[in-house]
Structure 1
Amino acid sequence: MACNFLRRFLLQCFGSEQDNPNGNGNLHGRFSMAGTQAILQIEDHSQLVTEAETESSETSIQGSSGNMLFQLKLARHLYGMFSMAGVGPPTNFPNKDRSQLVSGNLTEREDGPCGVFVGIYDGHGGTTCSQFLLDHLFHNLKRAIANKNGVINEEVFQEAYNRTELTFVNHVRTNWQNEPQIAVLGSCCLVGVVVNKVLHVANAGDSRAVLVRWPDGGGLDDMVVIPLSVDYNAKYRERRDEVSEEHPPGTSLFEEFEGCSYVRGSLPVTRAIGHVYLKYDEFNQAPLPADYIQKEPIVRPIVKAEPMIRSRQLGPDDKFVIFASHGLWDEMDNKEAALLVRNAPRDGAAALLLKEAMRKAAAKHEMDFLDLRPFLPSDKRSYHDDISIIILFFDNL
């Protein structure tokens, strides 16, 4: 898988991870597969499925799992309904992904704008950074929106990402002498915000947001699938060129491994929060393990935390948007995912999409995913990567 090379290095250097597999907060959830624990943290589930949701009510959902499937089949947000699911493969305990949905006020002020916030945080090598994003990014976004007097624009997302990145760098700076592995860890960061019938998407990494639209009464031929993010993955020539253009000619930036390009031979993505050993030369020394110390000094960050931001006015033809970590997109393309969601009942749509990705991944390894066991041979168990999915359905735009 895309991050297995990094994981193998971490296991060789540190033996195991020291992260809390379940994060913080109260645990709640139902699991469709037996095995290690999965959690769905619901901060206010009294508002989830009420018939009449007002703009003053707030729903806050946080999802993560051990290595089995969790799902929230269907619940309400300000503009319609949503479905949510996630899973990690058996060998990848705990699941490095974190996901988040907040529906309600987007600032601390009572008169602040109301909308829907979605976050998909795909951690690399451990849960430290993805959990940090879960704990801090939305609060930093609310602060940035308040600083703009409720206006939501590109500067708001840039401020929120930058503040979160700097706070995490300071966290690493304070702790890395005793916990050197945190200088290696990082996370992709995909964020969506819907407010005043405008969808904003910010992305740093290779998670993806896809909007699906068709006119009322339209058939499958009328369906339009619109990608709203860019995959910042080193396997694409365009992404490698973007990095190369910001560094002096001759700088060693990418290495090939198992037919894929990686940043300095270890990281598949070109944008992410964290991974400070590829950003600041102060971390390019012991106690960082020798495998990660770069021969060339880090003159400027190789991996950027800056998000790409797109905004789109929504209308009655816009039916739903899929937010998902790259574990889903490794197994199916945008149109395939859109068709599956369109043709399925909304109730449990995210889990259905997730299970289809698992089935396709298992088929590549000549496995039946319905017959998986926790104790498969080690070369068979990592048959798919972490997958997190949130689908927003729009009903009252």
Structure 2
Amino acid sequence: MSKTFSGWILRTAKRQVNLLQEGKRSYSQCLQRRGQARWRRAHSGSAAARLCSPPLCSSDRSYRHTAEDVRYQLLPQQINDLLRANEQSVKMADGEGRNRGTVLKMESNILASNSPCEDRRSAATCLQTKGNLFGIFDGHAGAACAQSVSERLFYYIAVSLMPQGTLEEIEFAREHMKPVLPILQWYKHKNDYMPREMASLYVDHLRVFWQELIELDNGSGMSVADAMAYAFQRLDSDISLEAQHYTDNEFIKNLALEIAFSGSTACVSHIDGVHLHLANCGDCRAVLGVQDEGGAWSGVPLTEDHNAFNLSELQRVRSEHPEEEDVVSDCRLLGLLMPLRAFGDVRFKWSQGLQKSVLHGACNAEPLNIYQYSPTNYHTPPYLTATPEVTYHKLRPQDKFLIMASDGLWDFLDNQEAVRLVAEHLSDIREPRISMGKRSLGTMHNLLLQRRSSGIHRPDPNVATHLIRNAVGTNEDGELDQERLAAMLSLPEDLSRMYRDDITVTVIYFNSSAIEAQYQDGEQRR
């Protein structure tokens, strides 16, 4: 094993196991307070219960001290440049498209805290079946697993949905080295990294998967719920097997191990007409923005966070390991991992014997001794699963948008606050249009001054950026604070993660008219 990768394994092990030891207590306290804040939000629903200033640290004095230590004060334009660097906006198919116009557009953004960023996102249209796919992936112990899952999971879902005849056509083309039917149309931002070193291995394993589906002879393909659940589990299994497969290519071997030993949560939506399916594995979240007939807005969560603050999830994990009292301690799996479901993280899935064997074989020398960092209560693996919780929602005309985001956003905003921010952005309440007409320049000037004095502004055309700006920059009084925003964005890398996580947001807007039309079509066909 290369020295670089050996060092990475050691750093990963220390990061996961010694989080509560060896001088890391302050960071642990930050994370614990973040979890406590989530608990308060879940049980109170009060805006006062959310994390304010400081967001993740242990005391107000700690935040003030950090803010004072930041010498570099960002200018407004520099703040905008940082916030908007990863913006993405895509208009989806119109009324003639495969989704029959129920999805108008999606807007997305990523704000990194870790260096490199450990979050990923994906968006694509299924070309051989119906529907659009959107995904949020939150990595930990590095970005390798999140990167791999963001590249591959949609293919596994799309293939699972294909009818028998399409799968056979794809296999025939592959077997005879002819052009294969395109599976997905991707919507990628220029900064969405797509490494190609593992492409051949990924295609080979995807082919094995569709060959197995052909042998199942499932006729018209799986249901969406079954396809999503099966794809999650199968991809996680392939990630595990790839780390156990030894090749002569040292780089690929090390990268496969890095992917398997790091981890990632995932939240994926599949939208086909009025049919919305969500598959969630971990603590990313999806919230539906609903507007009633009176114009009032509400946030409806469509996923459950898989962490220790979800009592049913906590009970599930404990019931699978009834003899182990410390299976969840300090709000973490084995005292180490916050999400209770995730891809990768084979240190929580493999037996210690298998871990030792794989690492020994990879090293071709003395096995890398990571067991000095292993928890003493590691008795009955696997402790972690990538099995998603799949939910279904039939879209209604009052369903206006869907917010999907990594937990970095939800550390600052509760569901209702996020929906309110998007609703204000959508309805244009905060930025009324000023008609020039016959107004004098003096009148226009006064209107602009009134807008500025009342705080009415909407600097971000992209709603995901609007959410991120307000999440990071809102103070304890619920007001957008430019000084706080500048300080949070100016934090050096070694401090930034103590105050905020990577934040990834995708907002999907629905076409109410198209949804209503589908209901009317359904009534006419009866």
**Structures share a fold, TM > 0.5?**
yes
SS in 2 for 1:240: helix
Alignment CA distance shift 1:219-1:242 (3 Å):
same
Alignment CA distance shift 1:119-1:128 (3 Å):
same
Alignment CA distance shift 1:288-1:153 (3 Å):
farther
Alignment CA distance shift 1:298-1:132 (3 Å):
farther
Q: CA deviation at 1:141?
A: 0.4
Aligned to 2:499: 383
Aligned to 1:64: none
Matched, 1:332 2:354: no
Q: TM-score, normalised by structure 1?
A: 0.74
Aligned to 2:141: 125
Aligned to 1:87: 111
SS in 1 for 2:148: helix
Matched, 1:199 2:276: yes
Range moving further from structure 2, 286-295 or 199-208: 286-295
In the TM superposition, 1:244-323 aligns within 5 A as 244-256=318-330, 261-281=331-351, 282-285=353-356, 286-287=367-368, 289-323=370-404
Q: CA deviation at 1:230?
A: 0.7
SS in 2 for 1:343: helix
CA distance in structure 2 between the aligned counterparts of 1:153 and 1:104, rounded to whole angstroms: 12
How many aligned positions are there?
338
Query: Which one has a bigger Cα radius of gyration?
Result: 2
**For 1:4-55, what per-residue CA distance to the aligned partner results, in whole angstroms no more than 9, with x for missing partners?**
x979716989xxxxxxxxxxxxxxxxx9655799667x9xx9xx44895642
Greater per-residue helix proportion: 2
**For 1:107-152, what per-residue CA distance to the aligned partner results, in whole angstroms no more than 9, with x for missing partners?**
xxxxx43221011110011111001111110000011111552553
Q: CA deviation at 1:301?
A: 1.3
CA distance in structure 2 between the aligned counterparts of 1:218 and 1:166, rounded to whole angstroms: 48
Range moving further from structure 2, 139-148 or 360-369: 360-369
Aligned to 1:27: none
Aligned to 1:351: 465
Alignment CA distance shift 1:329-1:372 (3 Å):
closer
Aligned to 1:156: 227
SS in 1 for 2:106: strand
SS in 2 for 1:344: helix
> RMSD value over aligned CA atoms?
3.6
CA distance in structure 2 between the aligned counterparts of 1:55 and 1:132, rounded to whole angstroms: 29
**For 1:152-187, what per-residue CA distance to the aligned partner results, in whole angstroms no more than 9, with x for missing partners?**
332111210011101111122237985765553100
**For 1:268-321, what per-residue CA distance to the aligned partner results, in whole angstroms no more than 9, with x for missing partners?**
010011111101104444526235424344433111111001001112111111
CA distance in structure 2 between the aligned counterparts of 1:161 and 1:104, rounded to whole angstroms: 17
Q: CA deviation at 1:366?
A: 12
Structure 2 letter corresponding to 1:170: L
Taking every aligned residue pair, what percent have the same amino acid on both sides?
25
Alignment CA distance shift 1:341-1:248 (3 Å):
same
Q: Is the 8 A contact 1:183 1:283 kept in 2?
A: no
Matched, 1:102 2:124: yes
Matched, 1:185 2:262: yes
Range moving further from structure 2, 280-289 or 201-210: 280-289
SS in 2 for 1:159: helix
Alignment CA distance shift 1:228-1:93 (3 Å):
same
Gap regions ≥5 residues in structure 1: 14-30, 58-75, 106-111
Structure 1 letter corresponding to 2:347: Y
CA distance in structure 1 between the aligned counterparts of 2:110 and 2:476, rounded to whole angstroms: 17
Ranked by relative contact order (alpha carbons within 8 Å, sequence separation 6 or more), the top structure is 2
Q: TM-score, normalised by structure 2?
A: 0.57
CA distance in structure 1 between the aligned counterparts of 2:369 and 2:101, rounded to whole angstroms: 44
Aligned to 1:55: 97
Matched, 1:392 2:473: no
Alignment CA distance shift 1:339-1:274 (3 Å):
same
Q: Is the 8 A contact 2:261 2:345 kept in 1?
A: yes
